[in-house]
Amino acid sequence: MPVGPDGRARWQRRMGVALILTAVIAGAVLRGYRLDLRVVHGDEANQAVKTAWMLEGKPYRYDPNEHHGPTLYYLTYPLLRILGARSLADTEIWEYRLVPALAGTLLIVMGGLAAWHGGGPIAAGVAAWMLALSNGTVFYSRYYIQETLLALFVVSGAWALLRIWRHPEDRLSWLGLGLAIGLAHATKETCIYFFAVGALAFACAWFYGRLTDRRSTAADGTGTIGPDQYKALMVNLALAAAAAACVSVLFYTSFFSYLPGAWHSVAAYFAYIHRAGGQGSSGIHDKPWHYYLHLLGWYQPMAGPRWSEWPVLVLALVGGVDSFVRREKRSGLVSLPTAATRFLFLFMLLSFAAFSLTPYKTPWNILTPLALCCVLAGIGASRLLGGLRRLGGIPAVLAGMLVVLGALAWEGRQAWLGNFVYPADARNPYVYAHTTSAIRRLEERVYALSALHPDGPHMPVYVVRLNGDYWPLPWYFRRLDRVGYWTGIPDSLPVPVVIAGNEAAPQIAETLGTAYFSETHALRPGVLLRVFIRRDLWEQFLETRHAGSSGINIP
Domain shared by 117 and 200, yes or no: yes
Q: Is residue 553 part of a domain?
A: no
What CA–CA distances, in Å, run from 433 to 41, 265, 362, 391? 8, 27, 10, 49
Give the Cα separation of 269 and 297 in Å (integer).
Answer: 31
The string of pLDDT tens digits covering residues 154-166 is 999 999 999 998 8
User: Do 405 and 444 belong to one domain?
Assistant: no
Per the rule left: phi > 0, alpha: psi between -120 and 50, beta: everything else, 528 is: beta
Q: Which of 421, 456, 483 is a domain's end point?
A: 421
In degrees to the nearest 10, what's the CA dihedral of 406, 408, 411, 417? -80
Question: pLDDT grade, residue 453 (50/70/90)?
Answer: very high
Q: Where on the phi/psi map is residue 307: left (φ > 0), alpha (ψ -120 to 50), or beta?
A: beta
Residue where a domain stops, chosen among 421, 449, 477: 421
Whether 433 maps to a domain, the answer reads no
380 shares a domain with 458: no
Closest CA to 378 of 46, 68, 128, 104: 128
Relative to beta strand 461-464, strand 497-501 is: parallel
**Are 342 and 407 within one domain?**
yes
User: Are 271 and 337 contained in the same domain?
Assistant: yes
Task: Find the CATH number of the domain harbouring 484.
Answer: 3.40.190
One domain, residues 254 and 288: yes
**Separation CA 318–CA 108 (nearest Å):** 21
pLDDT digits (tens, 9 = 90+) for 468-519: 899 999 999 999 999 999 999 988 888 999 999 999 999 999 999 999 999 9
344 and 488, same domain (yes or no): no
Count Cβ neighbours within 10 Å for each residue of 420-439 and write b for 16 or more, e otherwise: eebbbbbbbbbbebbbbeeb
What pLDDT sits at residue 4?
Answer: 60
Residue 23 belongs to a domain: no
CA distances from 268 to 252, 260, 311 (A): 12, 12, 37
Reported as a single tens digit per residue, the pLDDT across 56-109 is 999 999 988 777 899 999 999 999 999 999 999 999 999 999 999 999 999 999
Residue 297 confidence (pLDDT) above 80: yes
- Give pLDDT, residue 300: 84
Q: Report strand pairing: 516-524 vs 483-486.
A: unpaired
What range defines the domain where residue 317 resides?
A: 37-421
- The pTM assigned to this predicted structure is 0.92
- Whether residue 20 lies inside any domain: the answer is no
Same-domain pairing of 380 and 472: no
If one counts every other C-beta atom within 10 angstroms of the C-beta of residue 397, the result is: 18
Phi, psi for residue 501 in degrees, rounded to 5? -75, 165
The C-alpha atoms of residue 27 and residue 22 are separated, in whole angstroms, by 8
Residue 552 lies in a domain: no
**Is 146 found in the same domain as 194?**
yes
- Residues 458/482, Cβ–Cβ less than 8 Å: yes
Tell whether 465 and 396 lie within a shared domain. Answer: no
In a domain, 7, yes or no: no
CA–CA separation, 171 and 183 (whole Å): 18
One domain, residues 317 and 447:
no
CA atoms of 506 and 377, how far apart (whole Å): 55
Residues 30-63 have pLDDT tens digits of 999 999 999 999 999 999 999 999 999 999 999 8
Residues linked to residue 522 through DSSP beta bridges, in sequence order: 528
Segments of 272-401 assigned E as strands? 329-330, 333-334
Q: Does residue 19 lie in a domain region? A: no
Mark whether 146 and 41 lie in a shared domain.
yes
**Which tens digits make up the pLDDT trace of 225-275?**
667 777 888 999 999 999 999 999 999 999 999 999 888 888 888 766 766
Residue that is last in its domain, among 421, 450, 484: 421
Identity of the residue numbered 209: G
Q: How many domains does the chain have?
A: 2
Identify the residue with better confidence: 174 or 275: 174
End-to-end CA separation in angstroms for the chain: 59
- 3 domain-assigned: no
